[in-house]
Chains A and B, each alone.
Chain A
């Protein structure tokens, strides 16, 4: 923040912005200068204040102190409309389009071009949409409804909306969290094109390869305060991580070497028509098996079918030699299975419910006495597991929605680890959680495997897959295309199999 002596004032700057929610100080004197023609990365742990900052820029929150400067002029955003008028556009991780309107209508919603008669000029709307898409190199039909668009395409629609509004400042809040590699690459191409066209971009991500590959400048925030701002070239991953966490993270992937026990889980010929087919694999005690592949390859669906949340059409699942009835999560749990699902908010937790009730949701019968379940028993169990997993929470009676993403994930883990499973499925165990907690989760999984737990991990993050897994199964379009041992698995071999190409060393 020291070097803003450039002659042209930046299109958007925040100076010493503070914002508190009750006793919680979310932003403590944060400064940020977004310059034209630059992609600026904002990194920090979850809870560091990134989202509050984004909402301040978007005009959702009004800062308690400090200034927002537009082209060097102090400005007050009292509502999101003010921010839009100032040329600020925010692309969220999961855009909210109107599903029943067409793509073009979504782009021009609220400001449709009119004909002379005052009716909506659909032709002009369509033409303008096509022009923007051509500029972005996007191939989406302007007339199709927004329903059914992939998240990547929805984000591009949002970007197109921003461009037609002549936005000069584009904020992207974790845009790649739900994108596949190819989709993310396409987004980056668009981002670079916008930068070269003179826009100022703010890019928020937990993925360092993206931050370093895309951005020109990196601002690190911690606990709502500014830590550093440097050109990307002067930084490396270790430095950034240390600044984010405020301490050394010993290792992101603390893999413990362990011997394997007997085969615990055998899946044979598992098929669900149109989703996946003929999936067979087995997992031994103490082994971490990763299911890799592109988003949509059917990895989560396989895991859900094995656990019994979804049905399957053919194939068998055996736990320690015994067949499991299909489509019955209860039976799977009784056999010692646990599933930490992909979508924490929708599948993993009841957000309205308290921390303690969520943490004990899987063990209510076990905690009951004579059929009666007391809050005391729930609290004792939740407290025990909270301590074990180093959960950071106020009161256990608070709704679980008040926790940060990482701590929510710990509640899900507590919920399932307390059942003392023999087979643990974890689906995207570290999605959307901060580096510190990420390392904790990895260490935990490693320790559990060391204690003889069989772990199946679905992950879209290659470093996580390669760092944690003893064996990597790769899926492509509903089929297993490769099975790689720890020493044969590298980025190349996994990506080959994930994209369905035959590598030279087929498994």
Chain B
């Protein structure tokens, strides 16, 4: 962050045009405020404070526990989704993968397979479903939007093949209530919330502090340049889709035990909530930009808003509308911020902006 007045000026005639140095602290604050996830984190904090102060029953252990359980599956699936969207792809089949995993668990359980074993089979199935997405996207070079819309329908269909209209609800009580157990007996803190948090930290480290993470941003911004730098672009994307499938299957297992039932139509449309949370969290739909902190804040913000409004007694239609408005605001806000910023700071760079581009691309000659 330090203002580095790098680097040699060999010729005496080089213009001294650097911006006036700002004090270290101010610079740091400015750079913190200008990060893409800052608005959503700020809005989340305000919403949490507002809900605790003004909404009856919000700040109770029971309600917080309910809130965290209701967003656990979305939060899980949002983690790999963040990485995928950063590389410029998307996976819309996650909710169907969740349902197929849930259906698989149901069929296996009915066939007498112990849950400890069935759970691993479900994860493997999920990984396989994700890998199929990966192959279609990387080997055949199809756009992931089209591929995963297709597999979204396909996997949901397979779930119906397995279960039909039936529901499997004969899961053992110990597993079902176990899914909602608090962590170390702390009221209002289900163990799944701690598990998601731990996973989020892992994903954050992977994305923001490893070589692989850096290359994900490169792929999203310019996959050709990434390839020229030796990044195995297709291999990376393949593994991301596989990971996404496995995590969605894990979410499916948890979802099944949490509600104690397997149905083919479970979590219908949930993929849109996942994508919504990712975009709300500041990830660019065009790839190349985003952070785990922002996405987790996005998930929590959507969940909190819904929960608080429900406590206010608003109907589900109103909830839908509010969720939609929040999303639109989240897309509009960064654009506004960017526009305001570009007006205020004309150019932080020491070289003349326009003089430096050796290939002017203005649309003026059309």
Which of A48-56, A134-142, A259-267 is the interface stretch?
Answer: A48-56
CB distance from B323 to the nearest CB of A (A): 30
Q: Are A402 and B351 in contact (CB under 8 A)?
A: yes
CB within 8 Å for A386 and B347 given contacts A224-B355, A348-B228, A368-B211: no
Cα(A398)–Cα(B359), bound, Å: 20
Q: List residues of chain B with CB within 8 A of the CB of A357.
A: 214
Q: Are A386 and B11 in contact (CB under 8 A)?
A: no
CB within 8 Å for A402 and B348 given contacts A60-B364, A330-B230, A371-B210: yes
Q: List residues of chain A with CB within 8 A of the CB of B350.
A: 24, 392-394
Q: Are B15 and A402 in contact (CB under 8 A)?
A: no
Most buried by B among A26, A47, A90, A372: A47
Q: Is A415 an interface residue (CB 8 A)?
A: yes
Cα(A58)–Cα(B348), bound, Å: 25
Q: List residues of chain A with CB within 8 A of the CB of B347.
A: 21-24, 402
Q: Are B218 and A353 in contact (CB under 8 A)?
A: yes
Q: Are B360 and A47 in contact (CB under 8 A)?
A: no
Q: Are B210 and A372 in contact (CB under 8 A)?
A: yes
Cα(A350)–Cα(B288), bound, Å: 10
Q: Are B224 and A347 in contact (CB under 8 A)?
A: yes
Cα(A93)–Cα(B361), bound, Å: 9
CB within 8 Å for A22 and B345 given contacts A52-B354, A390-B7: yes
Q: Are A55 and B352 in contact (CB under 8 A)?
A: no
Q: Is B357 an interface residue (CB 8 A)?
A: yes
Within 8 A of B (CB), among A1-53: 21-26, 46-52
Q: List residues of chain A with CB within 8 A of the CB of B345.
A: 22
Cα(A339)–Cα(B225), bound, Å: 11
Most buried by B among A22, A60, A368: A22
- Which among B225, B348, B351 is the interface contact of A403 at CB below 8 angstroms? B351
Q: Are A362 and B230 in contact (CB under 8 A)?
A: yes
Q: Chain A: which residue is nearest B363 at the CB level?
A: A96
Q: Are B365 and A398 in contact (CB under 8 A)?
A: no
Interface CB pairs A-B, < 8 A, 20: A23-B17, A24-B353, A47-B352, A51-B360, A52-B352, A55-B360, A80-B365, A89-B365, A90-B364, A90-B365, A224-B355, A352-B288, A353-B217, A357-B214, A364-B214, A383-B4, A392-B7, A394-B18, A394-B350, A395-B6
5 extra A-B contacts, CB within 8 A, seeds A23-B347, A51-B355, A371-B210:
A47-B355, A55-B360, A90-B365, A96-B363, A352-B222
* Chain A residues within CB distance 8 Å of chain B: 21-26, 46-52, 54-55, 58-61, 80, 89-90, 92-96, 98, 109-110, 158, 173-174, 222-224, 245-247, 309, 329-330, 332-333, 339, 341, 345-353, 357, 361-362, 364-365, 367-368, 371-374, 383, 386-387, 390-398, 402-405, 407, 415, 432-433, 436
* Chain B residues within CB distance 8 Å of chain A: 1, 3-11, 13-15, 17-20, 205, 209-211, 213-215, 217-218, 221-222, 224-230, 232, 288, 345-366
